[in-house]
Amino acid sequence: MRVPVSTELLERYRTSAPRYTSYPTAVDWQKETFDPARYPDHLRASAEASDAPLSLYVHLPFCAEMCLFCGCNVVITRKEERVARYLDHLRLEFERVLATGIGRRPVHQLHWGGGTPTHLSPEQLREVFGMIRSGFELTADAEVAIEVDPRVTTAEHLEALGELGFNRVSMGVQDFEPKVQEAVKRVQPLELTQELVEGARASGMGSVNLDLMYGLPHQSRKQYAATIEQTLALRPERVALFHYAHVPWMKKHQTALDMDAAPSSEEKLELFADAVEAFQDAGYVYLGLDHFALPGDELADALAAGTLHRNFMGYTTRAGSEMLSFGVSAIGEVDGCFVQNLHQEPEYVQALADGGLGTFRGHRMSDEDRLRRDVILGLMCNGRLDKAALGQQHGIDFDAHFAAERQQLRPLAEDGLVEDGADALRLTPLGQMFMRNVAVVFDTYYAARQSAGRSGEGTFSKTL
C-alpha cells in the first residue's frame, strides 16, 4: 500500500540526521570518557563478566577502483604486497585482542565488510578466517556474512566461502541501468549479478542481500521501476534501498558525479515510495528505514516478535551482543564502551607495528546514553516503545522523564508520523519513512549541537 506524502511534508522533514547504527553517534563521542590505551582492560573485563556470545566484524578495505557514489572507508590498490602487509598486521591485532582472554566467549555473528573482501584471493580469505578460528569458536547457528562485488568475485571465491561456512552474502547493485552505472563508474551487467546470486546459493549461502541506491544521476521513475522489477526477479532474501549521500567535502571523488542529472528531492521521494510499494506488493516485509526482507527471514520474524536490533552492521537479530571489530576504522562495542581503530591504513599498520592495537578513540556510555539508545533503537527497529517496560528497565517514569521530548513530538503526531499513547509510543506507516526525524527528538547530543548553532548539515545524510 502506497503511503501518500505531500510536498509540504517532504520539505518540512527533509533534513540531515544520523542513521543511528549507534547512540551516541561517533561524531558525539566524548573523548574524556575513554582512554584508548585501556582498551585491553575493557576486553579483559568483558571476558570475565560474561559468557554471552559475541559479534565480530572484520574490515577489509581494498578495492581495485573507486565507485563515485562510495561513502565507505576504502583503499584503492592493485598491489598484492599492500594487501599482504595489511593481513600481517591484522593478524597481530587478532593475537593481541585474544591475549586478553576474550576468546573464551563464543561468536554468533561474523561479518566481513569493506571495501571489497573478495578483492582478496581465495587463499587470503582462508587466511583471514584462520585468524578468527585460531582463538574464537563459532556457535552452531552463527550468522556468517560477507560483502562481495560481483565484478571481482569468482567461482573460486564462492567455493572458498562455502567451504568456510559463510551463509549470508551481500552484494552491491545500486542500479541495473547501464547509463546510471556508467555515470557512477560501476558497470555491472544484470547477468553478472544474476550469476553470482545463483552461485552463492549453490555454494550454501541461504540468504542473499542486494543493495540498491536512489538519488544517483540519470535515475527516473520509469527507469528505476525496471531496476526494482529486475531485483524482484532475483528474489533476494533481503534488500537494502539506500539514499545516496552526496558529501563531496568528505569524499572528494564524489565531485566527479554530475548531480545536475540527479533526481530532485520530490523525484527521489517518488523513487523511494515506488520501491516501497513494489517490494511490499511482491510480499516483502518493510523493516523500516530502507530495509526489506522476505517473510520467514530472521529479520522479518524478529520484527514480528518485537526483537529486531540494530548495530554497526545494520539490522540484526543478535540483540544485546557486544561486538569486537578488527581492521582499519572498524568500530566495536565492549564493556559499555564504543571503540574505534585508526581511519587511515598506514597509521593503523604503524600502530600495530609499534606494538599497539590500532585503537585511537571511543566513548563510555552513561546511564542516560543507554536509556536514550533503547528509545531510539526501539523506534527504529520495532516501531513501538512499551513505556512501562522501558521505564521499569531503566528506573524512570517515561512520560515524566521525556516530557520535553513528548512536547516536541506533538507537531509530528499532528502530521501523522507518530502516536503518543498512554501505554506506548508508536510509529505510523508514514512515520516509518521518516523514522530518523522521530528518533532525533530523543538525541540530546543532536539538540546540543543545534543549540550551539551546528546543525546536522554536512555531518549526516539527508533523511530522504
The pLDDT assigned to 165 comes to 97
Whether CATH 3.40.50.300 fits 367-458:
no
Record: fold of 12-326: pyruvate-formate lyase- activating enzyme (3.80.30)
* Phi, psi (rounded to 5 degrees) for 343: -75, -35
Q: Which of 348, 371, 368 is CA-nearest to residue 360?
A: 348
- How many whole angstroms separate alpha carbon 209 and alpha carbon 196? 12
Question: For the whole model, what pTM was predicted?
Answer: 0.94
Q: What is the DSSP string of 426-461?
A: EE-HHHHHTHHHHHGGG-HHHHHHHHTT--STTTS-
- How many whole angstroms separate alpha carbon 448 and alpha carbon 168? 40
DSSP single-letter state for residue 462: B
The pLDDT assigned to 2 comes to 64
Residue 184: strand pairing partners: none
User: pLDDT tens digits for the chain (464 residues)?
Assistant: 566 677 778 778 888 888 888 899 988 998 889 999 999 999 999 999 999 999 999 999 999 999 999 989 999 999 999 999 999 999 999 999 999 999 999 999 999 999 999 999 999 999 999 999 999 999 999 999 999 999 999 999 999 999 999 999 999 999 999 999 999 999 999 999 999 999 999 999 999 999 999 999 999 999 999 999 999 999 999 999 999 988 898 899 999 999 999 999 889 988 988 999 999 999 999 988 889 999 999 999 998 988 888 888 788 887 667 999 999 999 999 999 999 999 999 999 999 999 999 999 999 999 999 999 999 999 998 899 999 999 999 999 999 999 999 999 999 999 999 999 999 999 998 898 889 999 999 999 998 888 776 655 556 777 76
Domain boundaries, the chain: 12-326, 367-458
Q: Which of 176, 172, 163 is CA-nearest to residue 130?
A: 163
At what angle are helices 155-164 and 122-133 packed, to 10 degrees? 10
The pLDDT assigned to 19 comes to 86
